C-alpha cells in the first residue's frame, strides 16, 4: 500500500464518520473540509491525529543520511568532474536530487516511509 492510499483511506474514514454521526457541523467550526486540510491537521495536531488514526511525521535528513541514501541508490558519485569540486556536500547532494526529507505515515498499524 502506498502513502497516498493510506492517506486516502484515512480521509475516507474521516469523511464517512463526519456524515454518519452528523459531525458535519464541526467542519463549520474549523474541522478540515478538504483532504489537504485533513493532512495538515494530522501533521500539526497530535490529539486530532490520534483520534483519526493517521500519524504523519516529517523530518529533515542529515548529511550522513543523505550520503547513505546516495550510495545505496547510486544517486551521485562522491567526486565528479562536472564542476562540483568547490561546492559543499549539501550542494553536491542537491545537484543530484538526493532526498532531503523522510516522511513516515502510520495508519491502522501500517507504516510507510518515503523520501522527498
For residue 79, pLDDT over 60 is answered with: no
What pLDDT does 41 receive? 93
Q: Is the pLDDT of residue 77 over 70?
A: no
Q: What is the DSSP string of the chain?
A: --HHHHHHHHHHHHHHHHHHTT-HHHHHTT---SHHHHHHHHHH-HHHHHHHTEEEEEEEPPHHHHHHHHHHHT---SS-SSS-TTS-HHHHHHHTT---EEEEEEETTEEEEEE-
Least confident of 43-52, 67-76, 81-90: 81-90
**What cell numbers appear for 73 in the block?**
541508490
The model's pTM: 0.77
Domain residue spans of the chain: 1-58
Nearest to 95 by CA among 111, 110, 83: 83
Could you read off the pLDDT of 9-67 as tens digits, one per residue?
A: 999 998 888 888 777 777 777 788 889 999 999 999 999 999 999 999 999 999 889 98
Amino acid at each position: 500500500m502506498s502513502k497516498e492510499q493510506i492517506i486516502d483511506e484515512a480521509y475516507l474514514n474521516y469523511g464517512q464518520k463526519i456524515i454518519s454521526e452528523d459531525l458535519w457541523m464541526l467542519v463549520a467550526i474549523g474541522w478540515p473540509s478538504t483532504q489537504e486540510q485533513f493532512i495538515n491537521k494530522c501533521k500539526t495536531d497530535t490529539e486530532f491525529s490520534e483520534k483519526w488514526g493517521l500519524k504523519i511525521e516529517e523530518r529533515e535528513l542529515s548529511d550522513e543520511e543523505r550520503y547513505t541514501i546516495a550510495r545505496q541508490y547510486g544517486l551521485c558519485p562522491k567526486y565528479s568532474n562536472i564542476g562540483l569540486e568547490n561546492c559543499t556536500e549539501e550542494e553536491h547532494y542537491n545537484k543530484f536530487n538526493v532526498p532531503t526529507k523522510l516522511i513516515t505515515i502510520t495508519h491502522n498499524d501500517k507504516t510507510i516511509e518515503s523520501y522527498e
